[in-house]
Structure 1
Amino acid sequence: MERESMEFDVVIVGAGPAGLATACRLMQISQDADKEMTVCVVEKGSEVGAHILSGAVFEPKVLDELFTDWRESDIPLNTKVTHDEIYLLSSESNSKLMSNSLVPKTMHNEGNYIISVGNLTRWLAEKAEGLGVEIFPGFAASEVLFNQDNSVKGILIGDMGVGANGEEKDSYMPGMELHAKYTVFSEGCRGHLGKELIAKYHLDNGKTPQHYGLGFKEIWKIPAEQHQEGKVVHTGGWPLNQGTSGGGFLYHMEDNQVAVGLIIDLNYKNPHVSPFDEFQRYKQHPVISQTLTGGERLTYGARAIAKGGLNSLPKMSFPGGLLIGCDAGTLNFAKIKGTHTAMKSGIVAAETLGEALMAGVEAGKDLDCFQTRIEQSWLHEELFQSRNFGPALHKFGTYLGGAFNFIDQNWFGGKFPITLRDETPDHAEMGLAKDFTPIKYPKPDGKLSFDKLSSVYLSNTYHEEDQKCHLQLKDASIPIAVNLIKYNEPAQRYCPAGVYEVVAEGPENKFVINAQNCIHCKTCDIKDPSQNITWVTPEGGGGPNYPNM
């Protein structure tokens, strides 16, 4: 099919912090050089920020490089961190407050802000548009386009109005090709085009497999007497045990609101684990419940995070494009922060692209100098210093791993003369159902704990139901013939939105995909033990619509 096309100097896929930082810095370079540059940002969410979910405590030093006057602007950084508390939860009712002197220094948050990253991206989008960037929300990049020499040519915007049967509906609108001298991929964690590019160009050769966590988040409005604006709480331990690791958080924002969440590492072994139900249990612990009790749950969401760090960071350039932010895996897991590092990768990308475009470098080249620039930046230094943090917790557990990380970070400044590696992909850690005891989770009480469907409702998720399923099975028989027999089909439990079900039809079982529930967390693409599920973009504008996550 011959399609309409548009030409740009740079096309950026994803209007998150990394992509928008790239766009803003590119236009600043263009204006400083008084040379016109065309930059386009494509965003699959219905609006900028609709698909953004993060904790989040934000380290603002990157803003000094992008907008030196940000402190005098209307940027939505309203809550400065006042103090940190870290608890080790030993059981469903017991806890111990750790002395600050025993906490890895990466977990201290002096000078940082509790923010909504969704609102930050909305602010960045306004800045980008003011600089002349074109932003197209509601349009999903469905395919990478290639030139004959195998370099990236641009992207294809997915068709709209195609029914589940593959036939065009009355609302059909063919997708458009966006061509660029260079294309930047900033889709966030486990971006489906980034995943394709890493495989095509072998960008992860010599690296340990990327590792992931599944992060849950809710925003609550709580009684004023239980609110301490600026307080940051992190926890380790319960309810995660017996091979399941991660940690929780409680951030006191403005307007008597708190963000509560739990991150569960996706290397867990027990196929009976339900991360969603672990999060519901977590809120019952007194350290958390004393803040939430009497409050109202306002929003819910979940998203995978890339936590492999430097050991898993792929080569970030290839012919005709760059891979940045969480699409590459730039999150600093030792700090549980990825926004500032994603934005830094975008700034470095923009300066690399700006130099190439100004010098008239031929389109489609591999700007491998980008890798050198990354390695010379504070981003690389941060990731190097935190390279052992995740592997230590995986190898040694919460307590011994925590002790190792305290020594590494506080005594050696992250330069301990050993590099730990975790060579097993998360999906390969899944054990057989027969080797583990099923977990009986308590029923939700409707006050602190809730069911999946009422939670998904709060995410404002919507998909046009009559469209091709964006959760594709390589082999439709595997869920029942393999996963159900070996693992009790864990998709029923690891999905935080109730997308996957096994239902009985007479004597047979059937695997059901409720794709309209999908909140785009990407967990299924990561954790399926048979690697049989591939997440691709649905029609543009579909998915969650987070107001301020």
Structure 2
Amino acid sequence: MERESMDFDVVIVGAGPAGLSTAIRLMQNAQKNDQELMVCVVEKGSEVGAHILSGAVFEPRSLAELFPEWESMGAPVTTKVTGDGIYLLKNEEKATKLPNFVVPKTMHNEGNYIVSMGNVCRWLAEQAEALGVEIFPGFPAQEVLYDDNGSVAGVITGDMGLDKAGNPKDSYVQGMELRAKYTVFAEGCRGHLGKSLIAKYNLDEGKSPQHYGIGFKEIWDIDPALHEEGLVVHTAGWPLESDTGGGGYLYHAENNQVLVGLIIDLNYANPYLSPFDEFQRYKHHPVIAQYLKGAKRVSYGARALAKGGLNSLPKMTMPGGLLVGCDAGTINTAKIKGNHTAMKSGIIAADTIAAALVGGDQGGSDLVAFEQNFAQSWLQPELHNTRNFSPAMHKLGTFWGGAYNTLDQNFFGGRLPFNFKDDSRDYAQMKPAQNCKEIEYPKPDGVLSFDKLSSVFLSNTNHEEEQPCHLQLADAEIPIKVNLATYAEPAQRYCPAGVYEVQTTESGEQEFVINAQNCVHCKTCDIKDPSQNITWVTPEGAGGPNYPNM
């Protein structure tokens, strides 16, 4: 059956900070140029913000470029950072607070704000719609649409109403073709279309492989007497071993809430490591636990983040399309911030597209002017000056890498004439289970630490059960024959939502079970599977978590 189609000037995939900034800037340019422009944003979440998860300490630089009067306009960016505390956790009880002079300047947060990026995106969506942008939540972009010349020509939204075998049910609705002169991919970290485009057009040729972490976040209502609105706490060290990168955070937001989380680099070697259980342990450290006395956990989520920096940033343009934000990997890991950089990349993309369309461009071109515009913006030097931050930690270890980064950032402004590169791939770092020590994690106490299923419940995750599995195995035998035999099947542990299990059947055989309805769309399985056998694709529209204010 021929699909219905709609034509736009620009289609944007993803209503996150990068996608919405692109849409807003496009319409601002259209108004300035007295130009009619049709722009649409498709979003796989049930509403804008439903799939947004970020720490988040927010630098408002890009927001001010979009809306210089953002404060008087009522943007949900109100909780100013009032203080920073950086701690080295030595073990489960001891910690040392680091003096400012040994902390990289990039981690100082004067002038920044503690925010819910989900709520910021909801506000940005309101501004975009007021400018004439059409936003379609609950419509995942499932495939890239190409023209006869091999250029990106738009996207195809996912079919709805298919059973597990892919057959139409009574509720079947065919996906639509959304055709555009230019398509902007802003899916977030490890976007499945972005991943396919990078491979198709060799956009990462000559670059270091992208590197990733998994980030956890919980929101807690705490005792008002313990609340210090605006306080930012970062930690390094325990519970992570010296060969595992990452760090924790606790931010005092408004309304007597704290945001607590842990980020773990996904290049870890021990297949017995469970990122979720490391996070549960983390909350028991006195530096964190002191704020959680008598508190109530109200939300939970997890999401992968790109950590490679400039050395891993692919070419961001292709014929007919652009990659922006975390779909490309624009995060500044030295700042532990990616929202302002994602927004700026969207602004640059919009300015580039607008100039082309005003000049009579009919679409389908490789907008190479984007690279020049990127290089001439503040984004290029910011990422260049922090290019060594993550690679130095990988190459030199936490202590010496941290020492190098402090020297480089505090005394040389990121201009030391070295270029560390990490050309390893995260999944390939995993060692066979027989070469690693099994990790015994304490049982959750139900006060500070919890199990996966009760945590997923707080993410409001839901999928229609009668639909094709969106976690696709290239070879159904690999999980048992290879991953279980060699790596004790680490999917059981690296997944933060209890999606993957190994069960014993009545006949005594071991079986790999995928509980896809639990999936919080973190993409960790797509990244960390040592056999690269799992591919994450979009489920039926509106499936996944429904984060209220993450």
TM, length-normalised to structure 2: 0.99
Q: Displacement, 1:534?
A: 0.2
Measured on the aligned residues, the alpha-carbon RMSD in Å equals 0.6
Matched residue type, 1:402: G
2:9 maps to 9
Deviations 1:436-487 (A, max 9, x none): 1100100000000000000000000000000000000000000000000000
Q: Displacement, 1:321?
A: 0.6
Q: Displacement, 1:362?
A: 2.9
Kindly indicate whether the alpha-carbon contact (under 8 Å) linking 2:158 and 2:540 is maintained by their aligned counterparts in 1: yes
- Give the secondary-structure state (helix, strand or coil) at the position aligned to 1:489: coil
Deviations 1:153-198 (A, max 9, x none): 1000000000002111111000010000000000000000000000
Kindly indicate whether the alpha-carbon contact (under 8 Å) linking 1:519 and 1:544 is maintained by their aligned counterparts in 2: yes
Matched residue type, 2:446: G
- Give the secondary-structure state (helix, strand or coil) at the position aligned to 1:18: helix
Instruction: Give the Cα–Cα distance (whole angstroms) in 2 for the partners of residues 32 and 45 of structure 1.
Output: 32
2:61 maps to 61
- Give the secondary-structure state (helix, strand or coil) at the position aligned to 1:70: coil
2:138 maps to 138
1:512 maps to 513
- Give the secondary-structure state (helix, strand or coil) at the position aligned to 1:481: helix
- Give the secondary-structure state (helix, strand or coil) at the position aligned to 1:216: strand
Q: Displacement, 1:247?
A: 0.1
Matched residue type, 2:515: N
Matched residue type, 1:547: P
Deviations 1:425-445 (A, max 9, x none): 100000010001100100000
Deviations 1:353-397 (A, max 9, x none): 000111111310100110111111111111101101001111122
1:548 maps to 549
Matched residue type, 1:335: K
Structure 1 unaligned blocks of 5 or more: none
1:204 maps to 204
Instruction: Give the Cα–Cα distance (whole angstroms) in 1 for the partners of residues 107 and 492 of structure 2.
Output: 34
1:535 is aligned to 2:539: no
Deviations 1:515-548 (A, max 9, x none): 0000000000000000000000000100000000
Instruction: Give the Cα–Cα distance (whole angstroms) in 2 for the partners of residues 73 and 133 of structure 1.
Output: 19
Instruction: Give the Cα–Cα distance (whole angstroms) in 1 for the partners of residues 64 and 457 of structure 2.
Output: 38
- Give the secondary-structure state (helix, strand or coil) at the position aligned to 1:121: helix
Q: Displacement, 1:349?
A: 0.3
Matched residue type, 1:502: V
1:108 maps to 108
Matched residue type, 2:46: S
Which portions of structure 1, spanning 4 or more consecutive aligned residues, are displaced by more than 4 angstroms?
none
2:223 maps to 223
- Give the secondary-structure state (helix, strand or coil) at the position aligned to 2:302: strand
Instruction: Give the Cα–Cα distance (whole angstroms) in 2 for the partners of residues 512 and 439 of structure 1.
Output: 23
1:253 maps to 253
Q: Displacement, 1:5?
A: 0.2
Instruction: Give the Cα–Cα distance (whole angstroms) in 1 for the partners of residues 167 and 281 of structure 2.
Output: 45
1:403 maps to 403
Kindly indicate whether the alpha-carbon contact (under 8 Å) linking 1:243 and 1:270 is maintained by their aligned counterparts in 2: no
Deviations 1:175-224 (A, max 9, x none): 01000000000000000000000000000000000000000000000001
Instruction: Give the Cα–Cα distance (whole angstroms) in 2 for the partners of residues 474 and 437 of structure 1.
Output: 29
Instruction: Give the Cα–Cα distance (whole angstroms) in 1 for the partners of residues 380 and 257 of structure 2.
Output: 34
1:93 is aligned to 2:93: yes
Instruction: Give the Cα–Cα distance (whole angstroms) in 2 for the partners of residues 85 and 69 of structure 1.
Output: 31
Aligned ranges for residues 320-331 of structure 1 at < 5 Å? 320-331=320-331
Instruction: Give the Cα–Cα distance (whole angstroms) in 1 for the partners of residues 35 and 439 of structure 2.
Output: 62
Matched residue type, 1:209: P
Judge which range, 26-35 or 121-130, deviates more: 26-35
Instruction: Give the Cα–Cα distance (whole angstroms) in 2 for the partners of residues 172 and 243 of structure 1.
Output: 50
Aligned ranges for residues 282-361 of structure 1 at < 5 Å? 282-361=282-361
Judge which range, 91-100 or 355-364, deviates more: 355-364
Deviations 1:299-341 (A, max 9, x none): 0000000010100000000000100000000000000000000
Kindly indicate whether the alpha-carbon contact (under 8 Å) linking 1:76 and 1:123 is maintained by their aligned counterparts in 2: yes
Instruction: Give the Cα–Cα distance (whole angstroms) in 2 for the partners of residues 507 and 322 of structure 1.
Output: 50
Q: Displacement, 1:507?
A: 2.2
Deviations 1:71-111 (A, max 9, x none): 21110012000010000001000000000111100000000
2:164 maps to 164
Judge which range, 398-407 or 273-282, deviates more: 398-407
Q: Displacement, 1:242?
A: 4.2
2:153 maps to 153
Aligned ranges for residues 410-429 of structure 1 at < 5 Å? 410-429=410-429
How many residues were matched structurally? 549
Structure 2 unaligned blocks of 5 or more: none
1:75 maps to 75
Kindly indicate whether the alpha-carbon contact (under 8 Å) linking 1:186 and 1:326 is maintained by their aligned counterparts in 2: yes
Kindly indicate whether the alpha-carbon contact (under 8 Å) linking 2:242 and 2:398 is maintained by their aligned counterparts in 1: no
TM, length-normalised to structure 1: 1.00
1:522 is aligned to 2:518: no
Instruction: Give the Cα–Cα distance (whole angstroms) in 2 for the partners of residues 432 and 221 of structure 1.
Output: 41
Kindly indicate whether the alpha-carbon contact (under 8 Å) linking 1:303 and 1:520 is maintained by their aligned counterparts in 2: yes
1:494 maps to 494
Q: Displacement, 1:411?
A: 1.0
Kindly indicate whether the alpha-carbon contact (under 8 Å) linking 1:47 and 1:138 is maintained by their aligned counterparts in 2: yes
